[in-house]
Structure formats: C-alpha cells, structure tokens
Homo-oligomer: A and B are copies of this chain.
C-alpha cells in the first residue's frame, strides 16, 4: 500500500521544463521566480462530485476540466498561466483512478505549458482544488471594472453547448460525442485572453452563464448594457434545440462554456476581427455598454436562471 508521499512521487512528480521554477513537488513549498516587469495572477477553483461532475465521470475528464477552468480564469485576465498546485481529496487510494487522473492532468499540463509545482492529498469525499498562477506585464491585466459607456460587448465561441449537453444527460438522453466534449473538455481561451491586452476594456470568463457573468462586469464597471438575444453565437445543436423549445435561457444563463465575454472601444472592431481570424476563434458582437446600470436583454422574457453555487 502506498503512503501519501509514494503516491505523490509516483503519480504527480513530473520533470519540470520551466527553468524559472527552482523547486516543484516534494518540499514544504515550491519556489519560482517571475520577470521583474510582471505581476503575478492567481486564481483557485474547486470541482466537487455531484456538483461539477457526475459520480461516474471519467477521472481523465475530471483532471482535464479541473485544470481547464483555472486556465480560463487566467486567460480572462489577459495573463499567461505558468504553474499550479493540486489539492486532491480522495475517498480511497484507487490506483486505477489515480493513474487515469494523473496521466490526463500531465497531458493537459504539457499541452498548456503549465507546471504542477505542489499539492496535498487528503482522505475524504472526492474534491479537487487547483490553484493556478500566471503572469502578466505590469498594469496590463484586463479587469472586470474597465467597461465604458459606448463599448461594444463581445463573446468568443458559442454559448449554451455545455448546458444543452448537461440538460440531455439529466433527462436521460445520450448526448453525442461532440456535445459531450463541450461539457467535459472545454477549451480555455488561453491564446485569446493575452491577445486582448490593450484591446479589451474588461473581460470575464463565462462559467456561470452569460447573463450572470456579464452582470459582474456591469457592477464592477458601474455601467449597464443592452444585448440582443438574436445576436448570441449558437452552434447548430443549440439552434435546433431552440427551434422547438424557444428556451433562450439555455444560451443566456447556461454555465460551463468557458468562453470569454469582453468589452472594447468601438474603434477596435477591425483589430478584433483580425484577432478572430488569426486565432481561428469565432468572436461575436452581442451588444453595447450604456449608462443604465442595468442589463437589458432584447428578445428574452425569462428570468435569470444563471448558475447558483448554493
């Protein structure tokens, strides 16, 4: 039977390729440095069984998503992720589960070039907390508070796909693999975020639903907005669903898409088009910031249904 230290060494002590990280897993703390003209950007997100994933979710999907949701937060600041810690609470030392979890996490960490530098393992109900650290040039981070009257409002990718997949699963309908992918393997916008520095006046990642997350920007920036539900970027799956249900609450309030919602001065329209083309990411203008202090959604009569954590 492995103890905690053997477990960590076996599954999570990967070679580090970032020379600015002096010490990773295996001491009381990790040790690294950042460039003198940079600031550190930090975020933490927990995934908990029954809330963020189903009881029978694949360990590899859980690992990927735990990292992806944190990468999304760093991207939403316009920053680049650098390293992360993992705190893993497990009901038992299940080596098959751990092997799949750690292999997927390692693969994702290599793909996104972000180093695992420390962690903790604990016995208890399954709970995965990742704290991620990134860097951004001083005073360049994109906050929620910078939206200005007259700014355009944009969103990347499509909205509602993860919510549609979840809805199908809850109703006992098997989603197809592309739909499942949207829920289990969301693509954090790690290139788009940094590309929006000096372009976006504010930015947030759409994790709890556009309506709720855009409201965070409005409150932090002390502004209002009009968006038009006709302009929401939708996949064919979601368009099909809307034809029969007219349930605009799904793309407006559904969570887990991990797209970026950002605001930008109208003069940046061409520049944003270029970014969209060069990164091959759909970017759609969905509305305009105003001084109303409220969020008006044209063509939507429903109430707020965005994700509530409690």
Binding site for B on A (CB under 8 A): 1-5, 7, 22-23, 26-34, 36, 38-52, 72-74, 76-77, 79, 83, 85-87, 89-90, 92-93, 117-125, 127, 129, 131-134, 136, 138, 141, 143-145, 203-205, 216, 220, 308-310
Contacts and interface: CB of A to CB of B under 8 A. Distances in A.
A46 B92 contact: no
Contact of A310 (B38, B123, B138, B309): B123
A41 B51 contact: no
A39 B32 contact: yes
Given A48-B124, A124-B125, A131-B131, A28 B310 contact: no
Given A32-B39, A48-B124, A310-B2, A27 B220 contact: yes
Contact of A39 (B4, B22, B89, B121): B22
A120 B310 CA distance: 12
Contact of A29 (B32, B43, B310): B43
B134 A309 contact: no
Given A28-B204, A131-B131, 13 more contacts: A22-B141, A29-B79, A29-B132, A31-B141, A33-B38, A42-B131, A42-B133, A43-B85, A44-B87, A46-B89, A46-B122, A50-B124, A123-B309
Contact of A205 (B28, B39, B89, B125): B28
Given A27-B144, A31-B141, A49 B124 contact: yes
Query: Which of A28, A119, A120 has the most chain B CB atoms inside 10 A of its CB?
Result: A28
Nearest to A6: B310
A124 B127 contact: yes
A137 B38 CA distance: 17
B30 A120 contact: no
A131 B310 contact: no
Contact of A77 (B28, B40, B89, B124): B28
Query: Which of A74, A93, A118 has the most chain B CB atoms inside 10 A of its CB?
Result: A118
B40 A144 contact: no
Contacts of A45: 87, 120
Nearest to A32: B40
A131 B29 contact: no
Nearest to A134: B29
17 contacts: A22-B141, A27-B143, A28-B76, A29-B41, A29-B132, A31-B41, A34-B34, A44-B119, A44-B120, A44-B131, A46-B129, A48-B124, A48-B127, A49-B124, A89-B127, A92-B310, A120-B129
- Which 5 pairs of residues, A with B, have the shortest CB-CB distance? A4-B309, A131-B131, A48-B124, A29-B43, A36-B36
A4 to B, nearest CB: 4
A28 B125 contact: no
Nearest to A29: B43
A28 B127 CA distance: 21
